[in-house]
Amino acid sequence: MRYAVKRGEGSSRFTLYAFCDQSMKRLLLIWCTLTLGVILVTACRANRYVAGMERLGGSSTIFDTSFNAFEHPMAGLPREKELLFHVGNSFFEQNWVTAPASTTARDGVGPLLNSRSCAGCHLKDGRGRPPQAGETGTGLLLRLSIPGETVTGAPLPEPTYGGQLQDGAIEGVEVEGQFVIDYVERPGTFADGTPYSLREPTYRLTDLAYGELHPDVMVSPRVANQVIGLGLLAAIPEATLLALADEHDADGDGISGRPNMVYNRVTGENEIGRFGWKANQPTLLQQSADAFLGDMGITTDLLLAQDCTAVQHNCIAAPTGGDPEIERDDLEKVALYIETLAVPAQRMPQDKTVLRGMGEFLAAGCGSCHTPELTTGDHTLAPLANQTIRPFTDLLLHDMGAGLADGRPDFLATGSEWRTPPLWGIGLFETVNGHTFYLHDGRARNLTEAILWHGGEATAARDAFLNLPQAARDALIAFLESL
CB contact at 8 A, 461 and 340: no
Q: Does 37 or 157 have the greater pLDDT score?
A: 157
Residue 398 clears pLDDT 70, i.e. is over it: yes
Domain of residue 126: give its range: 2-482
Asked whether residue 2 carries a pLDDT value surpassing 70, the answer given is no
Query: What's the pTM?
Result: 0.90
Closest CA relative to residue 344, chosen from 376, 382, 391: 391
For the segment 15-19, the average pLDDT, to the nearest whole number, is 28
Distance of CA 315 to the CA centre of its chain: 30
The least confident of 133-137, 150-154, 232-236, 438-442 is: 133-137
Looking at residue 428, its pLDDT comes to: 98
Residue 73, φ and ψ in degrees, nearest 5: -70, 155
Cβ neighbourhood burial of 366 (10 Å; 0-12, 13-18, 19+): buried
Task: Give per-residue pLDDT as tens, 29-55.
Answer: 333 333 333 333 344 444 588 889 999
Q: What is the pLDDT of residues 406-450, one digit of tens each?
A: 999 999 999 999 999 999 999 999 999 999 999 999 999 999 999
Between CA 137 and CA 168 the distance in angstroms is 9
Please report the pLDDT score of residue 19 as a whole number: 27
* In contact, 341 and 230? CB cutoff 8 Å: yes
The residue-averaged pLDDT of 368-393 equals 98
Query: What's the CA gap between 210 and 265, in Å, rounded?
Result: 30
Looking at residue 235, its pLDDT comes to 98
pLDDT exceeds cutoff 70 at 64: yes
Secondary structure class of 97 (helix, strand, coil): strand
pLDDT in the model for residue 47: 57
Provide the pLDDT confidence category of residue 102 given band limits of 50, 70 and 90: confident
Q: Does the pLDDT of residue 149 top 80, yes or no?
A: yes
DSSP H/E element including 28: strand 27-29
Q: Which of 424, 374, 272, 395 is nearest to 34 (CA)?
A: 374
Lowest-pLDDT choice from 36-40, 85-89, 167-171, 281-285: 36-40
Closest Cα to residue 275, out of 330, 222, 332? Answer: 222
Total count of domains within the chain? 1
Q: How far apart are CA 276 and CA 294, in angstroms?
A: 14
Q: Say if CB 360 and CB 461 are below 8 A apart.
A: no
Q: What is the DSSP letter of 404?
A: G
pLDDT, tens digit, 9 for 90 and up, residues 368-377: 999 999 999 9
Who's near 291: CB < 8 A, 6+ residues apart? Answer: 118
Range 343-349 average pLDDT: 98
Is residue 242 within 8 Å of residue 274, measured between CB atoms? Answer: no
What's the chain's average pLDDT?
91
